[in-house]
Amino acid sequence: MATATCEIYRKVLGSDLSQRVGNSKVLMVGAGGIGCELLKNLVLTGFKDIEVIDLDTIDVSNLNRQFLFQKRHVGKSKAQVSRESALQFNPDANIKAHHDNIMSPDYGLDYFKQFDVVMNALDNKAARNHVNRMCLAADVPLVESGTAGYLGQATVIKKGVTECYECQPKPTQKTFPGCTIRNTPSEPIHCIVWAKHLFNQLFGEADADEEVSPDTEDPEAVGTAGEKAVQNQEKERGSGGIERASTRTWAEEIGYDPEKLFNKLFNEDIKYLLSMDKLWKKRKPPVPVDFESIRKGCDTNEKDADNGLQDQRVWSPDECAEVFSQSVDTLKKQLLTRGEDLVWDKDDPASMDFVTSAANIRAHIFSIPMKSRFDVKAMAGNIIPAIATTNAIISGLIVMQALNILSGKLDKCKTIYLNRQPNPRKKLLVPCNLVPPNPKCYVCAAKPEVTVFLNTETLTIKALEEKMLKERFGMVAPDVEIEDGKGSILISSEEGETDENLPKTLREFHVGNSARLKADDFLQNYQLILNVVHRDDLEDGVEFEVEGDLPEPKPDGPEPAASTALEERENQPVAGDTEEVMVVDEPAPSRKRKADESELQTREQQDLKSSKRARVSNVPADEDDDDIIVL
């Protein structure tokens, strides 16, 4: 059987490529929507030595598109189960699964160097940045990919040959895995999306993909949430699906009692999540709250002392509980009066109060920063569902890119975009030549440097570490010293060594205008020089700005109309958007935001025209410019 299979591979791929595929060692990072399709494709193409790593466990919401998983796998490791399922396609394959975080120190430079190709099927920017840097340091080719709804793309990253993942600035990530929303939120936007789903479950048109409970049991089982395993709570239907009782029905039966709703959502459901102990081995566990105790914590003196605008002030947890109760009563009356489902509207006070209070209570439970009503209104938006066929197409493209790499034909690799609809030449898949590295990239340049504008008298060492180095520049465990000839250390990656520095400002360490800081991440084998420019005129709430991120002056006169090509380009996903994702389109909260978008549109048009002119000589004669879409 094995001999016959090898003969098929030789006939399809050719003797030389078939042998290279069989002898290669590849790493697949992520075992979700794209990952499931990709692992299946790899074993069916003849890859035999594969390692797959994923930190997540299987959620029931994954089953509609991650076809290596079944109901009996809910709660188990994605990496382990995908391995077991893929081996059924090719039992001769050697697949090693890791239920772990790729950013762990266990997966350092030596680990990455053992692979011939690395393939990303990730769902977050931080992990993508990390893998990008590790592949650059190890000089291993990386196939990057992503999907968002019907859109997708796959590209190749090779040190010194192509742009790296961070050569061009990425927009703020707006995509999130469904299981993150329901089980393991880590950002305010995760809680806001969850609260909008809750609104629809209780008052609007319910969608099965917008389930807010962490389990599959009936909402009526309020007192038993978390006491039984998921598989024991499933009810089999004749079709083999999973039956859930309606959250709306249960809410109607209890008369939309705010206290019962509160305790179900923020106490019993959280206790259930805590029973899923695998989720909290490497995460901070949530802390359940109940209606009575949180309202007892009300500090009226503190509230009276805050004279800020109500919309721009972050409510305390007990205030959120009070607003939650009032908004539920108001929305219940609206529902009864109208006699039809409500539609969430950011301009409706009760709708906004409900989402703001519910999101902030959930954020409080998961130790996530809470947001003002003003901020929540700006962040809430529309959701785009994941599409299984998009994942299948992109995973096929990833394997084709890998085959070109193993064949030594890097020049044949392209950045390939999957469009929502055919372009003027009736093509859904649009190839684009790989772009050379950006010489000013702060990651893959020979000597990475970046200029940062900040107020040295107010920026603390903690903000430097957490918000700038880790959040903005994607470092994992940075060490920072002042280039002053003395090697003064500001931040050490060794635990506890420089904790006393964290609350101090840069000025206290004599860091002023034109100072140079050297940030070094040993795990990523990455070093970055920060050129400090002191500014005391930063906008309120802005702690620092990075050169290149600053908006250009707005040109005089009206903005030109966007071209068809530009519209296509704007609709493309970035590689940071992936498979099982929900995309939140954030509306512009102010006139300034809209002005910035207009400026970006103008610059994008100019860049697109310039890019087309520069690429004319590289496009084959049988291709027109309208085939090329540049992100």
Residue 54 annotated in ligand binding: yes
Residue 46 annotated in ligand binding: no
DSSP H or E run through 28: strand 25-29
Residue 120 annotated in ligand binding: no
Residue 418 annotated in ligand binding: no
Q: Answer whether 295's CB lies under 8 Å from 358's CB.
A: no
Q: Answer whether 404's CB lies under 8 Å from 45's CB.
A: no
Residue 127 annotated in ligand binding: yes
Token digits for 194? 């969850």
Residue 296 annotated in ligand binding: no
Token digits for 211? 């389930």
What lies within 8 Å, CB to CB, of 11 at 6+ separation is none
What lies within 8 Å, CB to CB, of 591 at 6+ separation is none
Residue 126 annotated in ligand binding: yes
Residue 164 annotated in ligand binding: yes
Residue 33 annotated in ligand binding: yes
- Chain centroid to CA 119: 17
Tell me, yes or no, if 320 is annotated catalytic. Answer: no
Q: Answer whether 137's CB lies under 8 Å from 524's CB.
A: yes
Q: Answer whether 41's CB lies under 8 Å from 145's CB.
A: no
Token digits for 67? 């076809």
Hey, which residues does 521 pair with through a beta bridge? 478, 526
How far, in Å, CA of 248 to CA of 343, rounded? 15
Alpha helices, DSSP H, located in 24-117: 33-45, 78-86, 109-113
How far, in Å, CA of 299 to CA of 322, rounded? 13
What lies within 8 Å, CB to CB, of 508 at 6+ separation is none
Q: Answer whether 268's CB lies under 8 Å from 223's CB.
A: yes
Q: Answer whether 480's CB lies under 8 Å from 528's CB.
A: no
How far, in Å, CA of 524 to CA of 270, rounded? 35
How far, in Å, CA of 66 to CA of 22, rounded? 26
Residue 625 annotated in ligand binding: no
How far, in Å, CA of 602 to CA of 554, rounded? 9
Residue 78 annotated in ligand binding: yes
Residue 423 annotated in ligand binding: no
| 6, 36, 135, 179: the active-site residue | 179
Residue 359 annotated in ligand binding: no
Residue 183 annotated in ligand binding: no
Residue 30 annotated in ligand binding: yes
Residue 309 annotated in ligand binding: no
Which residues are documented as binding site for ATP? 30-35, 54, 62-65, 78, 123-128
Catalytic residues: 179
Which residues are documented as binding site for Zn(2+)? 164, 167, 441, 444
